[in-house]
Amino acid sequence: MTGVTLISTGGTIASQHSEAAGAVVAELGGSTLLAKLHDPLDGIEVRVEEFRELNSFALTLADAHGLVAAIRAALQEPGCAGVVVTHGTDTMEESAYLADILVAGDKPVVFTGAQRHAGDPDSDGPRNIADAIRVAAAPQARGIGAVIVFEGEIHAARDVTKMHASRTDTFRSPGLGKLGEVDLGEVHLYRHPGPRRVVPDRGLVEEVELLRLALGTTPAFLDFCADRGVRGVVIEGFGRGNAPRGFGAAVQRLNAAGVPVLIASRCVEGRTRAVYGGDSGATTLVEAGGLLTGTLPGLKARLLLSALLAAGAGRDEIAQALARA
């Protein structure tokens, strides 16, 4: 018998319509979700741990770090082959990425959820949970790190993002594709995500801000961050990592104040690179002290920076971690 621990955190998968609230709210625990499964899980014993009953848009960084600690503790229990986390889809990719960079070892950590709430007669939750449990128990899943299993597909936490607000096939890995799939209960892996880079877990620094650029955006927010004592900033720039005029000087001011600035791309595919010069092309931003994130998107670069700052990393260590990530 293979042991899997199911950690429930709320989200749409644990939600149903509340007459009192007049809306869909998270209120179902993991044991209730497990009882709703349609498929038998032959040869798998599931232990349930209740973590939170919150929609993922209400989770804080402290909650996410607490979830990482719960995952780590569950994996250390004798007989546990892997962990499944039921989670809201809004921030699932972020919690999954945190688990990927903070939880060591080769046991799989599988996140899943639903786009249709538990009270919906066509809810996708039961099937997703069953598929996720099978992946967590599969010997071939060892070493793949944290993943999201959704609509029969397996996606690496590093690569995956939520692409659609409501469709059940919302999770995709742009430019890279899925790792594998679950087909009629069978787990198939087609590629490996590559070596994982685990960061020492010393907590998370909450004072890391993310700015997505648009046509004509001013750098005033960066000066606001400096005045408020923000510890780090991630900028989602245009294309290869470019910005409107004035950002080069603002990045230089933050860098001089000891505040690391990471430059990601707002594009869903491709990598940042110092190609363009001018006032605030990526070349200028790098000369001002900005650090390019490569293919790592802004949402996940923010989490990586938060963990690195908590671990006491300096600018050179942050640059090295980005190169590995």
The pair of structure tokens assigned to 6 is 């199911």
Q: How far is CA 50 from the centre of its chain?
A: 20
Could you tell me which residues come within 8 angstroms of residue 265 by beta carbon, excluding any fewer than 6 positions away?
236, 237, 238, 239, 240, 241, 271, 272, 293, 297
Which ranges of the chain does DSSP label H, i.e. alpha helix? 30-35, 61-75, 92-102, 125-137, 220-227, 247-256, 282-287, 298-310, 315-324
In order of their start, the domains of the chain are 2-189 (3.40.50.1170), 208-324 (3.40.50.40)
Query: 291 with 263: CB under 8 angstroms?
Result: yes
Residue 241 to residue 234: CA distance in whole angstroms? 11
SS3 49: strand
Question: What does each of the 325 residues of the chain score in pLDDT, given as a tens digit?
Answer: 899 999 999 889 888 877 777 788 787 888 888 888 888 898 999 999 999 888 899 999 999 999 999 999 999 999 999 999 999 999 999 999 999 999 999 999 999 999 998 888 889 999 999 999 999 999 999 999 999 999 999 999 999 999 999 999 999 999 999 999 999 999 999 999 888 889 999 999 999 999 999 999 999 999 999 999 999 999 999 999 999 999 999 999 999 999 999 999 999 999 999 999 999 999 999 999 999 999 999 999 999 999 999 999 999 999 999 998 8
Check if 89 is active-site: yes
- Running DSSP on this structure, what letter comes out for residue 200? P
The pair of structure tokens assigned to 44 is 């798998």
Assign 3-class secondary structure to 269-318: CCCCCCCCCCCCCHHHHHHCCCEECCCCCHHHHHHHHHHHHHCCCCHHHH
pLDDT of residue 311: 97
Which residue from 107, 128, 108 is spatially nearest to 117, judged by alpha carbons?
A: 128
Q: How far is CA 136 from the centre of its chain?
A: 18
Which residue from 104, 119, 173, 126 is spatially nearest to 30, judged by alpha carbons?
A: 126
The annotated binding site is made up of 56, 89-90
For residue 35, the tally of other CB atoms under 10 A from its CB is 10
The annotated binding site for substrate is made up of 56, 89-90
pLDDT of residue 147: 98
pLDDT of residue 214: 97
SS3 150: strand
Catalytic residue among 9, 12, 91, 283: 12
pLDDT of residue 316: 94
Residue 273 to residue 285: CA distance in whole angstroms? 11
Which residue from 288, 294, 282 is spatially nearest to 319, judged by alpha carbons?
A: 294
Check if 161 is active-site: no
pLDDT of residue 107: 97
Catalytic residue among 89, 161, 284, 293: 89
Instruction: Write down the pTM of the prediction.
Output: 0.95
